Structures are given as C-alpha cells and as structure tokens.
Structure 1
Amino acid sequence: MRSHYCGDLSEAHIDQEVTLCGWVNRRRDHGGVIFIDLRDREGLIQLVFDPEDSLDNFRRAEQVRSEYVLQVKGRVRPRPEGTENPDLATGQVEVLAQELVLLNAAETPPFPVDEKLEVSEEIRLRYRYIDLRRPESLQRLRFRSEIIRQLRKFLDERGFLDIDTPVLTKSTPEGARDFLVPSRTHPGQFFALPQSPQLFKQLLMIAGVDRYYQMVRCFRDEDLRADRQPEFTQLDIETSFLHEDEFMGLMEEMIKELFATVLGVPLHTPFIRMPYAEALACFGLDKPDLRIPLRLVEVGDLMKTVEFKVFAEPAQDREGRVAALRLPGGGKLSRKEIDDYTKFVAIYGAKGLAYIKVVERSRGREGLQSPILKFLPDEVVGAIMDRTGAEDGDVIFFGADKASIVNEALGALRVKLGHDHGLVEHGWRPLWVIDFPMFEWDESSNRWNALHHPFTSPKEEDLPLLEQNPGACRSRAYDLVLNGTEVGGGSMRIFRSPVQSQVFRLLGIGDEEAKEKFGFLLDALKYGCPPHGGIAFGLDRLVMLMTGSASIREVIAFPKTQTAACPLTGAPGLVAEAQLRELGIRVRKSIPENG
C-alpha cells in the first residue's frame, strides 16, 4: 500500500513518485491551498493539495480531519525557499499530492495527538492506543526495541542461547506474592505464574547449556511504586564455570557497549565495587546515587557519654546509630525549610531531625546555631566539626535511632537535599554493590530470611558461619546500581546439595517442605552440578532510566496502573459463574471489617 514511510523522505527523494499511508496530524487551509501533515511511526511529512493540480483531490482533502487514515500518492519536491522547517526531519521537502484515498475516518480523539497537553495518566492509559500515536510515546517503545536488539546481539555473539522457560509453574515459598492459575484438569490444584525463572535456569546449567539468556515475562503480586508493575520484563542470564569477577566484567562490557551504541555515552570500566556495609555507612542504603556528593558520617562514638539521651541511647545500643549529614551552604535554610525536611524524614520513621548551623566556625560554639548545642560538650562539638569537614555557611543534620531507621531516613534525605539544592552531577555513575549478608533476622517471625533468595551461595570463606553465626555470613551476591536505581541483581548459586539443604534449614524450610517444593532441584544437584551464577536485569527500569522517563509505565506498551488495574481493558474483571464452576472455584463475598 505504500512505497515509503513519511518520516524517511528527504532531499534524496526529490522528483520521486511516492505512496504514503498514515494518520492526519493536522490540516491547514491557506489561501486556497490545503496542507496536511501526515504522520506514521517514522515521523511527519507535509502534503500539499492544490486545486489547480487536482480539484477532486482538493475537495477530498477539505473533508479530512485529524486522525483520519489516508493513502496518498504524489511527487516529492523541495519546499519553497523560506518555508523550510529545520525542526522537522523532513522539513526540507514536501509532497505534492496527486491522489488521495480515505482509508478510514476517525472520531475526535479524547485528547489531541499533535499538542503537548498535560493529560491525566488514567485517561492516557484508557486510550493508550491514542497515547502511543504521540511521537514521544512511540519513541520510547522504539528505544526499548533498540535496547533489546543490542542486548540480544551482545549475548548471541558470546555464545549465549536464548531459551524459553515455563510460564505455568509451581508456587514458591513466597507464595503470597504469586499469581495463581487454577487447573481445570487437576481440580483443586493451582499453577503459579513465575516471579522469576530462577530454578529453571539453574536446571539448564546442570543440563550443560553453559550460557543461557531470556527476555522473560515475570509476575509479582505486590504493592506498586513508580518502578514496579505486576507483570514485568527481565533480561535473565545464567552462566557456568565463571567466577563472579569474570561474570561481572562480562556484564560491565555489555552495559558499556549498550550505552555507547544506543546513547552514544561512554561508560568507564571497571565499575566501582562497593561492599554492602560501606554503602549503608556512607549512603544509608544499598543502591547509592554516586552523582550526589553528600555522605553520611558516623558520630555514634562521640555521643556515647553525652547527657543528651536522644543521642546517647542509640549510640550505646548495638542496633542503634548516630550519623551526621553535612549540606554545604545549607546554613541559609529557613526554619520552615528545616521543618519541612523534618516532616520528610518522619515518613521513614525518624522521630525528629536535629541540626547545627555553622555560621563562623573559627569562633567555636559561639559561631554555631542549634537547639542541641547546650547538650553537647565543647570537645564533642569540635570533633563533629572536624569529622564532617564543616565550613562556614553549612548545616549539619543528625539522625539518631535504630540503625535501620537512621539509614533509611538520612539516606532518603541525602537524595532529596541533592536534588533540591542542585548537587546532582550530570552523567551516569554505575557501581556494583557486593558482599551482602546472606540473611536478615525477622523479629516478627523469629527466623532468618534470605536477603536475596535461598539459592544464593555464601562466600567460601564464610561457609563455617552458616553454623556458627549466620548473621555474619556474607553472600556471593552482586547488584548493579545506576544513578541510585538497582537495574540488575544476581549471585553465584549454591551448587552443592548439602549446602543448599543447610541453607533451607536455616530459613526454617524443613526437609519435608524442601522436598515438596524443591525436591527436583535437590535431586538435580546430586548429578554433577557445575559452579554457576547469573543475573536478572529489570529491562523496564533500564529503559526508564535511559529514556529519562518518570516511571516504567511510560516505557511499557500497555501497563497497569499503581492499583494493578488496566483502564484500557478493565482487567481484572469478573468471570462467568459457569467458568468458575468448571474450575471447581467458589468466590467468597468480602466480609465488612465491622461485622
């Protein structure tokens, strides 16, 4: 039906006869000549309808409205001098229409495609097919496609095999987050949609595949945020016979090549490798944004003997922390601004936000302003100034509480201060976070949980700690963090059956439960399992970052809302009683909380 895409036409096509198909972006009637901007996925081209050239075509063009679907035949010619459009890729040429066919009419769309108007996300997602006609929306999907193409190319060239794994599988120990699918042929039993192909890719390594990858759809029934969806896409990778240093180096090469090819941005390798403990100590979280130069500074040792219990008690608590965060030039903050930051950290459980303003450091205590100064001895104040590197005009914020609360609150405050005060450096700062703890203690259930997942291998030198001190055992896990966002998480896997059984027991998974849920894996580990490991990249997050989008919903063709609903199709929805009956399912009505 067409010979060229609209957006591909250039001066190289002058005097050529072309056939174009697309949507009417805009129609303009100027002095007896009609101009139509025709749009397809590659861009716009200006069509000219002159009644002297073809009166029939001119009259058809008069009936055309925005978003009508047209087929147009015509001749490419240069735009008259002075009418060129340098902002348009095709702005040097136009097409003199010789034949117009109306393929389909269109009602007025719920929002204009050719104008950059703010439209609510609910409306945009309800009419997503209209929203995707917008060049910026379509460009994100094109960009996503190019990223996937480049990643596949890199892995294909290095001997990785693209292998599908099952979508209907068995529920995991984290079953509350699984999407369940009832089985008609096995009444009362359920499949689960995979949160990850973790076990299958490990089985592929045991099978001798050696290098595997998959652009895999995963499902997780959890509360949503800007970078979460109930169904999402991972680039899943697994390899055998590679040490983590070799594997991480290979992944660095892949990301470096991706950024160079798609964005034209050089990333410097090797990426920084930062232990988990250092990330928490300096940044308060395990995915630090290195573009922000602010750092947390430990001052708990200085506060153990002060009379100020707000500081002294967490300083003396083994699970407590007292940390300082210096904001250069922050001394100009008003009381209201400080109160706003105090409300902000309260979101993360902080009970307050103490501060010291440095007016003139050389004057000692007299050159400082703070409600807490009266509680701190001179030597402590001087040590805080030295340790934080405080200068005139700065403000120092303090967090004092359980270490987890201090880390989360000051870590979030650090990022907010960086953005609020223009301290975020330009560019990309990737790093690996390594040496994670194997386990974290869950006080509510009085048991250990796997920090990553139960198939992550402990460090060889820490194997004795599985029995002696599980909390001190480190894992062979690694997360790739890019500008404060985790884009990939992986690890070397447990490949010896006794170690896997030992880890299951530590996690409260008894032998019977382990056999029921993971018996196939434990059996497979007995038959010559190679050392192996891998990673899963959140493709949606990666595309979101590389396109500068506000959320992953912008880079998914048909995303769900933050309530896990689809405004376009109305999913989730009710199903017919007959269908439920065939599946042997009865839906219980919700019982009001008050009765």
Structure 2
Amino acid sequence: MGEALGGLKRTLMCGEVRENNVSQKITLMGWVQRNRKLGGLQFIDLRDRTGIMQIVFGEAINAEAFEKAKDVRPEYCIAVTGEVVLREAPNHNMPTGLVELKCESLKILSESDTPPIYIKEGLDAAESIRLKYRYLDLRRPDMQRIFMIRNRISKSVRDYLDDNNFLEVETPMLTKSTPEGARDYLVPSRNYPGMFYALPQSPQIFKQLLMVSGFDRYYQIVKCFRDEDLRANRQPEFTQIDLEMSFVEQEDVIKMNEGLIAHVFKEVAGVDVKLPIKRMTFKDAMEKYGSDKPDLRFEMEITNITEDVKDMDFVVFKSAIEAGGSVRALCLKGGADLGRKPIDKLGEFVKTYKAKGLAWIQLKEDGVKSSIAKFLTDDVTNSIVKTMGAEVGDAIFIVADKNSVVFQSLGALRLELAKQFDLIKDKNEFNFTWITEFPLFEYDEEEGRYHAAHHPFTSPMDEDLDMLETNPGEVRSKAYDLVLNGEELGGGSIRIHDSNLQQRMFKALGFTEESAQERFGFLIDAFKFGPPPHGGLAFGLDRMVMFLAGTENIKDVITFPKNQNAYCYLSEAPNIADEKQLQELGISINVKEK
C-alpha cells in the first residue's frame, strides 16, 4: 500500500472541497472524468464517490506535473497534491465549482483502457453491457447515489430497531426445503450423497424458533432466494428487513412497523409519513381496485353494476351472473372522445387477463354511443350512469365474468388507463395503505385443493375458526401487507402458536400427520415447549430502495444483479462444474438440449 501511494495520504474527498479550504495544501485521489487543454493550462476533472473537483496544471505551477498531465486519459486512477485556490471562472452548477486545485504533484496510480461504457450520469447503454461491466457501471455518480441511499436506509433501520430493543440475529443459509410458494434453490451435500440443502426463501421457521428461544424481538437484514420467473422488481436473490416480536397482537406489530417506516422515510428522504397509516380489508381492495396492492394515488374505483344490468337480454352479462359472477365497470373521466381504435386496444388488453371482452358506453354531447347499444334501454343506461356517477364526456368500461377474472382484468385496466391518461398527478407522492384480513387459503383448481395464501403458520382470525374444516375458503387470516403506490412494500402475520390449531391448519392443507412432521418436524417439536404468542413482518429492502432512489428497476439497486433469465453477465454464472466436483457430490449430469 505504501509503495503504491508513494507515502501519499488522501486528506479530503473530491466533493468535500470548499471555499474554507482555500490556501490549504491537500491531496486528492480518484478517477479522471475528463482532461482538456485551455490556453497554456491543462484541466482535469477528478472524480470520486463524493463528487468532482477541478485540477489545474500549468508550466508555472509545476512543470513536471504539467507534462505528466498531458498523457492522462479518462478513468486513469491518480493522486494529486496542491493548493486550493478560488476559480477565476466559477461554476455555480457544481458544489465544488467555486474552487480548484493548483496541482504541484501528480502520481498516476494506475492506467485505464478505453472503457466499454461511458462513465456518466443517465447512461443509455444496453443492459447486457452494463451488467457485464458492472464495476464500471457502478462508478457512475447516479449509481453511486443509489447505493448511498441504500446504506442510509440500512443504517436507519438498524438505528430504529436497536432503539426499540430488537436483537440482530443471523439464521442459517443452508437449511431444509419447505413449501413456501416458490421453487427452492438446492445445494448438494458432499457429506450426505444424494441429499440437498435448500437456500432460504425467507427465515420464517427460524425466526419463529427464535421466539420459542425467548429472543422476543428479533431482526436481521438478510438475503433470501427464490427460483422463480423474474420481472422488473424481482431477482433470484433479494434482501429482506425481517423482524419478529413475541407477546404481541396485530396492532402491536403494525404500530411498530409504522414507526419504522416513518423513521426511515424521514431520515433518508425528509418525508413525513402521516400516522396512523390508513387501512383497507382485502375484500374492499379487490372489489374497489381489483388488486390486493392498490395504487391509491388516483381516483377510479371499480363499481358493481350487476343489479343495474341483471334484466338485460345480453347473454354475456346473463351467463356471468347465472354462474355466480358479476358485472363491474370503471368510469374514465373525459373518455367520451376516445376513438374506436384505442378502445379496441383496451379490449385486447383485458383479454390478456382472461376477460372475454370489454363492453363500453360513451356519454357524448349528442347522445350515448355503446358497443352493446342494441341491448341497452334508456332505463338501463340511466341506471348504469347513475350507479357509476358518470357525466357527459365520460366513458364506462364493463367486464362480466367470474369475480376473480373481473377483478384482475379491471384492476389491470385501471392501472393502464392511469398510465395512458396520466392520471397520477404527483409522481413524488408516497401513498401508503395497510391491507388486512387476507384469505387464509387459496384454492388451486388444477390440484383440487387449498394452499396457504401466505404460509402454513399464519393464524386464522378468531371469529372464523369454526369454518376451518367446514368452509376454508371463507376463513380470513391475521395477515397484513403494507402497500406503497401499488407495490407491496412488506407483509407479515400473527403466527399460530397453539399446537392443536397448527395441526388443524396442516390437516386443512392436506398434510397428514406424518407429512407435516417430515416437512416441519423441528418447528412442531419446538412448539411443545411453551411457544409465546408472536408475529412479525418482512419488508423488501430492495423495493424500499427503489422507491427512495426513484427507479423502477430492481437491478439498479443491487450491486451485482442477474438478468431477466437469472444469468450473471459479469461472472458468467450459472456455469458448469468440473467432473471432480460432481464426483465428490455423487452427481451425474443428464441435460437434454433445449
């Protein structure tokens, strides 16, 4: 280290130099942003993660440094020493723009090839190139700002939880495969040939065991792994802020986490989160917004018009109602001027969500225009318009089907209309809501059985316990999600701590006593020894960073992310293992070519 730096010590960061440093002799180190000649002087913009400082070289300042500076190219790593002076031509657009460094000594620490990507703000380059040269992509100031925000979030979380008597406790990465909703990543064992560890999808079972252990307030910022199809806000490995509390009910967990969110958003972004955060039941969220993570930054609720149209002689509506479904609609203010082509595109859009089609009514100045005009009477039209609260100039979009399809398609259409017609006026708004009373079970039509909507340890609501065996589809859970701007920021539940109730839950899910013991035996056994009432929650740290950094792509907030197919361009993982490794693991490979 000493030889490489020649005894030099960095005294300030580039972005820290100000007027109060004038006349001081300092040493800066960093990367060359650009090098330009102006008259008899040479100017280098030197960059580190704090900002940029202008360095000036001249024959009269130091001839040796001046000659050396001529050969310096962008992204060379250098050290410079000199006196801080006021700039003759200040740049008020940069924090260090009133001063510059008159360089008396230049040391080239390492040279650089021409980078394959530009190291600049707002780079417009192919994602594959950015990910392959991620170490260069991360040099960019806008990327470094994201990770400074991430660091502040993590510190803020730890400060708050430490102040509230939580203990940071680590849980294992090599564990047992348990059904949690997604595929596990499996790790073969050399010591136990033919057997596998699983990487944790979450620390769920272990944090419950910690409650049994008496660690009544636990947290960790932890890596989790899920082998699932990816999209903009998913990665195969992601980070959770995971916490659990003993001797609590739902209100206690919600209140603690509202405090956490308010603390983090204030500390990191200066945002005052209004507490308590509003709440909405799962049932209301689905019926009003078609989603369990509704975006509430704009008006436009789904409205049930089944009663208004039940006597219409229109087979699509009739068959939906007779099958136990419904007819529901959205009202687009000012939508009467939409042409047929964009309306047809909206019809194709809802079909991707299994809707059979999209009926529409436009309330024009000269009368009503509709795709179902021949089935509409004046009375039915007036009834629909009144129920919808529609006015002249508006458009009404209608879907009829089983409720799950109606909710899904109209929920998606609502978001699409908001996007197309710019209905979200304040893009910087943080609109939080809790969603509560989730169904305890989801029915899988293919398998013909119920699955746990969250996980098998979620507690049913007390008033629904009698329906656990007789009507499981109607049982609500003590589960809660915190939603922000249409995205799930975090979620959790009060857990089952009663062994008898846990057995009833396993039975409702189709587990025999033996299969439950095989999958969850160590938790079932632990619950024989006085488990406390407990509950918790996990926030997606990556998603929180996305919101506070203002990006919609999770890859922007993870240092070395995978692409859409879970491939790492940088390290070229996954890759083949050599034959010796496979033999040690007792594994033979038989891969069919795709």
Give the shorter-chain TM-score range: over 0.9
1:8 is matched with 16
> Any idea what SS the aligned residue of 1:582 has?
helix
Q: Distance in 1 between matches of 2:401 and 2:385?
A: 21
Shifted more, 302-311 versus 9-18: the winner is: 302-311
Distance in 1 between residues matched to 2:496 and 2:190, nearest whole Å: 36
Q: 1:214 aligns with which of 217, 220, 230?
A: 220
1:95-494 to 2 correspondences below 5 Å: 95-114=101-120, 116-174=122-180, 177-318=183-324, 320-360=325-365, 367-426=367-426, 427-494=429-496
Structure 1: how far apart are the matches of 2:82 and 2:55?
A: 9
Which residue is equivalent to 1:93?
99
Q: Distance in 2 between matches of 1:12 and 1:178?
A: 56
Q: Is the 8 A contact 2:121 2:141 kept in 1?
A: no
For residues 442 and 308 of structure 2, the distance between their equivalents in structure 1, rounded to whole angstroms, comes to 28
Report the residue type matching 2:150 in the other structure. R
What's 1:363 paired with? Answer: none
Question: Alpha-carbon deviation of 1:112?
Answer: 1.3
* Alignment match of 1:520 (pick from 498, 504, 522): 522
* Pairing 1:65–2:70 present: no
Give the 3 Å change call, closer, same or farther, for CA 174–243 of structure 1 in structure 2. closer
Task: Determine the structure 1 residue equivalent to 2:35.
Answer: 27
Take 1:272 and 1:390, find their aligned partners in 2: how far apart are those partners?
A: 27
CA distance in 2, matches of 1:76, 1:176: 58
Per-residue deviation, 1:545 = 1.4
Structure 1 residues 356-410: Cα deviation after superposition (integer angstroms, max 9, x where no partner) = 00114xxxxx721112021123222111100110111100001111211211111
Indicate yes or no: 2:577 matched with 1:571. Answer: no
| Contact map agreement 2:25 2:84 (CA 8 A) in 1 | yes
- SS at structure 2 position matched to 1:581: helix
Q: Counterpart amino acid of 2:67?
A: R
CA contact (8 A) 1:297 1:325 kept: yes
Q: Partner letter of residue 293 of structure 1? A: E
Conserved in 1, the CA contact under 8 Å of 2:122 and 2:142?
Answer: no
Q: Say which SS state the counterpart of residue 468 (structure 2) adopts.
A: helix
Runs (5+) with no aligned partner, structure 1: 361-365
Distance, in Å, in 2 between the alignment partners of 1:117 and 1:556 is: 17
User: Is 2:180–2:455's contact at 8 Å kept on the other side of the alignment?
Assistant: no
Structure 2 gaps of 5+ residues are: 1-8
Aligned length: 584
The answer on 1:509 being equivalent to 2:511 is yes
TM-superposed deviation, 1:174: 4.7
Once structures 1 and 2 are overlaid, which stretch shifts more, 330-339 or 99-108? Answer: 330-339
For the 8 Å contact 1:328–1:395, the answer to whether it is kept is yes
Structure 1 residue aligned with 2:48: 40
CA contact (8 A) 1:304 1:316 kept: no
User: Which whole-Å CA distance do the structure 1 matches of 2:114 and 2:373 have between them?
Assistant: 66
Q: Determine if contact 1:188/1:584 at 8 Å carries over to the other structure.
A: yes
> Counterpart of 1:463 in 2: which secondary structure?
helix
Per the alignment, residue 580 of structure 1 pairs with 582
Q: Deviations over 1:258-302 (max 9, x none)?
A: 111111111111111100000000000100000021110011222
Distance 2:65 2:53 in 1: 17
Report the aligned-residue RMSD: 1.2
Given that 1:213 and 1:238 are in contact with CA atoms closer than 8 Å, whether structure 2 keeps it comes out as yes
Give distance in 2, aligned partners of 1:417 and 1:154: 39
What SS does the corresponding residue of 1:86 show, helix, strand or coil? Answer: coil
Q: How big is each residue's C-alpha offset from its partner over 1:33-79, in whole Å with a ceiling of 9 and x where there is no partner? A: 01000000111000000111111101100000000000100111111
Higher mean Cα deviation, 512-521 or 166-175? 166-175
Asked whether the equivalents of residues 187 and 196 of structure 2 are also in contact (C-alpha less than 8 Å), the reply is yes
Distance 1:436 1:313, change over 3 A: same
Cα-to-partner distance string for 1:523-576 (whole Å, 9 max, x where unaligned)? 111111111000010110111111111211000000011100000000000010
Does 337-346 or 392-401 show the bigger shift? 337-346
Question: Are the equivalent residues in 2 in contact too, given 1:2–1:21 (CA < 8 A)?
Answer: yes
- Percent identity reads 49
Report the CA distance between 1:315 and its aligned residue: 1.9
How far apart, CA to CA, are the structure 1 residues paired with 2:130 and 2:181?
33
The CA distance in 2 between the partners of 1:212 and 1:116, in whole Å, is 39
Q: Which amino acid aligns with 1:188?
A: G
Q: Distance in 1 between matches of 2:122 and 2:411?
A: 36
Tell me the alpha carbon deviations over residues 493-526 of structure 1, each in whole angstroms, 9 at most, x when there is no partner. 0000111111111111111111111111111111
Answer whether contact 1:26 1:114 (CA < 8 A) is retained. Answer: no
Query: Do 1:294 and 1:418's aligned partners in 2 also have CA atoms closer than 8 Å?
Result: no
Taking the aligned partners of 2:256 and 2:383, their CA distance within structure 1 comes to 44
Question: Are the counterparts in 1 of residues 87 and 100 from structure 2 also a CA contact under 8 Å?
Answer: yes
Q: Aligned partners of 2:92 and 2:407: how far apart in 1? A: 51
Confirm or deny: 8 A CA contact 1:290 1:429 kept in the other structure: yes
Moved over 6 A (4+): none
Which is further off, 62-71 or 546-555? 546-555
How far did 1:591 drift?
5.8
Query: SS of 1:2's equivalent?
Result: coil
Structure 1 residue 253, shift from structure 2 partner: 1.2
CA contact (8 A) 2:156 2:264 kept: yes
CA shift for structure 1 position 115:
5.8
